[in-house]
Structure 1
Amino acid sequence: MQISLAVGDDLADILQICDETVAWLVSNGRPRQWGSRPWSERPAQVERIATLIKDKNTWVARSGTQVIGVIAATDSAPDDVSPAPGKEKFIRLFATDRSTRGSGVGKDLLLHLESESARAQATCIRVLCYTGAGNGLRRYYENFGFTEIEPYSIGKDGIPTWFGALMQRTIS
């Protein structure tokens, strides 16, 4: 497996991984996590990922020529997230091909991001983590050294529809 900076030609492969993730989440009763429509059919998501690639904020894991995972992180959090205690990398996208589950691709991508973050002199990596459906994703991040900073939710008309947590890993 190799990890490299994503290029424009990787967009279709990244969207395929995201579409497969959406399908898996929906089939497991978790449509709120990433929505229920494939990201390749959602122009805002396509543009968001294309911009992350163009801005050199996205890395892909490859097995041969096949993209098997992706992680993207920017230098700041969304506007509605509390500020970091110092310079940060904020995860905007993290997904792996479902066929690689348990193989360490996700761990390797997170370790690569940690190395890139240290090189950029960031003091922490942060992410908004979905906490529904039994907290499996939260446990994944906690096993990698992330801790919850505060609860986070997104809602419509004052009613929360997406429950999560702002999580942080300090870079030493």
Structure 2
Amino acid sequence: MDDPIRGVRIRRGGPADAPAVLTMLDSAVTWMNDRGNTEQWGTTPFSEKPGGAELVDRYLTENLPFIAEVDRTPAAALVLDSGPDPKAPIVPAAEPERYVRLLVSDRRFAGRKLGSALLAHAVNETRRAGVRLLRVDCWAGGGGELVAFYERHGFTSTHTFLSGSWPGQVLAQRVD
């Protein structure tokens, strides 16, 4: 799917996109750390974390990944699943849902609104699947900027949780 206004193309992702997604995650960790945020994703690049590359491989093979491209260059990624990670301290929905497992962009493409384009795509994919609930969880620290980002995109905060000392927020959006 092309967005002619921004020159963004969204396509299905797959295992071949793993190096690009790892680069996006590494750039996000660096960017957050440069801003003083060492709590959200830590300080170690995903490509160097034990299990980091394997997690990305699982996301790209076991879930529904999408890649936003700018001039044919992978610039952002979104991964949808049928629910939250079973290991996460998140209450499963009482109805079918789509769950945003990952949303990340390469910081070289900051300001292109790639996250917004991918979230709109997630809404359309959820609707196309005949599912009415789209949820996401995110880091709730740092003044709540990430929570506010999702709220600006039509999500409503539902409940908070702690994963160790990591504060999280679950948000939901009705897709009718």
- Same topology, TM > 0.5: yes
How far does the alpha carbon of each residue in 1:112-146 deviate from its partner, in whole angstroms, 9 at most, with x for none? 11111111222111111111111111111000111
- Does 2:53 match 1:46? yes
Residue of structure 1 in register with 2:95 after alignment: 86
- Does 2:163 match 1:163? no
Residue of structure 1 in register with 2:149 after alignment: 140
The Cα of 1:78 is off from its aligned counterpart by 2.1
Q: Which runs of 5+ in 2 are unaligned?
A: 1-7
Q: Secondary structure at the match of 1:112?
A: helix
Report if aligned partners of 2:76, 2:115 keep a CA contact under 8 Å in 1.
yes
Q: Secondary structure at the match of 1:31?
A: coil
The Cα of 1:28 is off from its aligned counterpart by 1.4
Instruction: Map 1:47-62 to 2 at 5 A.
Output: 47-62=54-69
Q: Secondary structure at the match of 2:40?
A: helix
Residue of structure 2 in register with 1:152 after alignment: 161
Equivalent-residue separation in structure 2 for 1:154 and 1:87 (angstroms): 24
Instruction: Map 1:112-151 to 2 at 5 A.
Output: 112-151=121-160
| Displacement over 4 Å in runs of 4+ | none
How far does the alpha carbon of each residue in 1:45-71 deviate from its partner, in whole angstroms, 9 at most, with x for none? 211211121135110001122111000
CA RMSD across the alignment:
1.3
Aligned residues between the structures? 167
Report if aligned partners of 2:63, 2:80 keep a CA contact under 8 Å in 1.
no
Residue of structure 1 in register with 2:74 after alignment: 67
> What TM-score do you get using the length of structure 1 for normalisation?
0.91
Report if aligned partners of 2:98, 2:126 keep a CA contact under 8 Å in 1.
yes
Residue of structure 2 in register with 1:7 after alignment: 14
Q: Which amino acid aligns with 1:23?
A: T
Report if aligned partners of 2:63, 2:81 keep a CA contact under 8 Å in 1.
no
Residue of structure 2 in register with 1:19 after alignment: 26
Report if aligned partners of 1:30, 1:133 keep a CA contact under 8 Å in 2.
yes
Report if aligned partners of 1:6, 1:56 keep a CA contact under 8 Å in 2.
no
Q: Which runs of 5+ in 1 are unaligned?
A: 156-160
Identical amino acids, percent of aligned pairs = 27
Equivalent-residue separation in structure 2 for 1:147 and 1:17 (angstroms): 27
- Greater CA deviation, 119-128 or 13-22? 119-128
> What TM-score do you get using the length of structure 2 for normalisation?
0.89
Equivalent-residue separation in structure 2 for 1:6 and 1:42 (angstroms): 22
Q: Secondary structure at the match of 1:118?
A: helix
Report if aligned partners of 1:149, 1:168 keep a CA contact under 8 Å in 2.
yes
